[in-house]
Each structure stands twice: as C-alpha cells, then as structure tokens.
Amino acid sequence: AFNSSNELQITVLDLVKTILSLMESSLEPVILNEASNEIRHQYLSAEKARRLLGWKSLFDLTEGLTRTVQWYRGFFSHARQGG
C-alpha cells in the first residue's frame, strides 16, 4: 500500500476552515471534544511512494483543495441541470 500525501501535519479544524474559506461559506464548525484515545499528532508518509514509484505531490494543500472544490462545483452544477 502507498500513501499519497504532502506530508503536512494539519489539524482537522484547520482543514475544515480552509475548505470553508475556499467555498466562501459562512458555516462555523461545532467542536464537541467527545473523541477519546485520539492520536495527537499524525500524518501520512509518502516516502515509500517516492522511493519505489518516484511519486511526488503536484500541488500544495491549498491548490489541491481549490481544484477539488472547483471540480465538485462543476459536477453538482452539471447534475442539477440534468446531465
């Protein structure tokens, strides 16, 4: 198995805030703090994919999320039009 990752450590809250910002959304995350036994700091290592496949990330996180949001907007816009 291989991980594809930019290997950044980012909190779920920061990820959600970034996505909301890119979507120009006024939603506010609700933090319940109910999770137990969570791993405090973790990230995916793409070292194996780099070493064996020569893989590297083409985009930083913001660019990747921007492209993803744009794709979903186009997809759902097309779906609403019956396509």
Letter for the amino acid at 73?
R
Spell out the domains of the chain, with CATH numbers in brackets: 12-80 (3.90.25.10)
Instruction: Give backbone dihedrals phi and psi of 47, rounded to 5 degrees, phi first.
Output: -55, -45
Q: What is the pTM of this model?
A: 0.79
User: What residue has token string 């990820």?
Assistant: 15
Q: Which residues contact 5 (CB under 8 A, 6 or more apart)?
A: 43, 44, 45, 46, 57
Q: At what angle do helices 61-80 and 12-22 cross, to 10 degrees?
A: 50
Phi/psi zone of residue 37: left (φ > 0), alpha (ψ -120 to 50 degrees), beta? left
What string of pLDDT tens digits covers the 83 residues of the chain?
Answer: 999 988 988 988 999 999 999 999 999 999 998 888 888 888 899 999 999 999 999 999 999 999 999 999 999 988 888 76
